[in-house]
Amino acid sequence: MKITAIETSVIRVPNAPPMSTFYATCVYVVVRIKSDQGIEGLGYTMLMNGAGVGAVRSYIEQNLVPLMIGQDPKAIGHLWQKMYENDRGIRKKGIPVYAISAIDIGLWDLLGKFVGKPLWQLWGSYADHAPVYGSGGFMSYTVDELIEEAEGFRAQGVKHYKMKIGHQNIMKDVERVGALRKALGDDMAIMVDANQRWDVPTNIKVANRIAQYDIYWYEEPVLADNIEQCATVARSIPIPVATGENEYTRYGFRDLIDHKAAHFLNPDIQRCGGFSEALKISHLASAYDLPIAPHLVPELSIHLLVSIPNGSFVECLTGSPPDLWVHPLQYNNGTLSPALRPGHGMEFNPEIVKRFSD
């Protein structure tokens, strides 16, 4: 089998309120990998509000597609290394790894379709479903919106909910976390996510004040570039730290693990290097008994989560149109099951594509 063409496109999907008060759109850079046997692989990477979309698409088209044409799409390991090693003048962090991820996801989808198996079955599964955590809780929400969103997840059987923190006045965050805990009672776990907004002393101060509300994890305390500082926070606060959505490849995660920077790792399949690299990262972490809770893209993350011994949660955001996919995701009592269709099993709804494509 040979790759004959790779087509790229961009889909700008508007989010519903209240999520749209913080992120107006989820923008997908899509690749369609065509083969001479008529099988097509769908890959994509999603960027919140579309930051970097032009650069990712251009890197795919100019740097990666020429390497792929005429190659055997089944040789994913070979092709991944080819993409990774193509240009040693660009370090593989950020934009180039988003681009590699999109192609890698498309290659795995194509291979799954070629052998007629869903990816999680191809990889040898540990389970056929995984628990979900509800995510959102943006800083633009009122406290009532925060509580309403968490209660909405709980009504679907979800037992963990994540909210954002990071106001300039830290007492505002302490109060919001306290109000949410009071409204939810004790039977729903709360995670908080600082999205790299604070320095080490501020994080320690905040963590010490909200620890009384029984916080499950404390995510991305400091700038993702500064692993040493994340490790300092992890050592200093009474709440387990989670991080990794802005880390790339097995090398980046090796550094997080070496520094003992987190208790939960959050690789993002469409950023960290695709399924290929997310599997390597997960296996590396399993040797340290570190749980993997992938960042976003539940429809892809679930394939990984049920295929590793150290999978924990799927992250689920509300806000995207319910008809984004041809086959809606299969949630059941706070869990998600992976598709039984070959490959990753996902396809964008053609109506959505028509309405929101560039």
The contact set with Mg ion (CB under 5 A) reads: 193, 219
| Residue pair 53/13 in contact by the 8 Å Cβ criterion | no
- H or E element in which residue 331 lies: strand 330-332
Q: Which is nearer to Mg ion, 113 or 271 (CB)?
A: 271
DSSP 357: B
- CA-to-CA distance for 350 and 356, rounded, in angstroms? 10
Q: Which is nearer to Mg ion, 104 or 193 (CB)?
A: 193
Q: How far is the CB of 262 from Mg ion (least distance, A)?
A: 12
| Closest by CA position to 318, among listed 19, 24, 12, 11 | 19
User: Which residues are identified as catalytic?
Assistant: 164, 295
- CA-to-CA distance for 337 and 132, rounded, in angstroms? 10
Q: How far is the CB of 188 from Mg ion (least distance, A)?
A: 19
Q: Which is nearer to Mg ion, 130 or 194 (CB)?
A: 194
**What is the rounded end-to-end Cα distance, in angstroms, of the chain?**
31
Q: Which is nearer to Mg ion, 109 or 219 (CB)?
A: 219
Six token digits for residue 11: 């889909």
| Residue pair 199/170 in contact by the 8 Å Cβ criterion | no
Residue 132, Cβ density class (10 Å: 0-12 exposed, 13-18 middle, ≥19 buried): buried
Q: Which is nearer to Mg ion, 193 or 247 (CB)?
A: 193
**Cα–Cα separations (whole angstroms), residue 178 to 143, 174, 209:** 10, 6, 10
| Residue pair 128/309 in contact by the 8 Å Cβ criterion | no
Q: How far is the CB of 220 from Mg ion (least distance, A)?
A: 5
Q: How far is the CB of 141 from Mg ion (least distance, A)?
A: 15
| Residue pair 306/124 in contact by the 8 Å Cβ criterion | no
Q: Which amino acid is present at 97?
A: V
Q: How far is the CB of 162 from Mg ion (least distance, A)?
A: 8
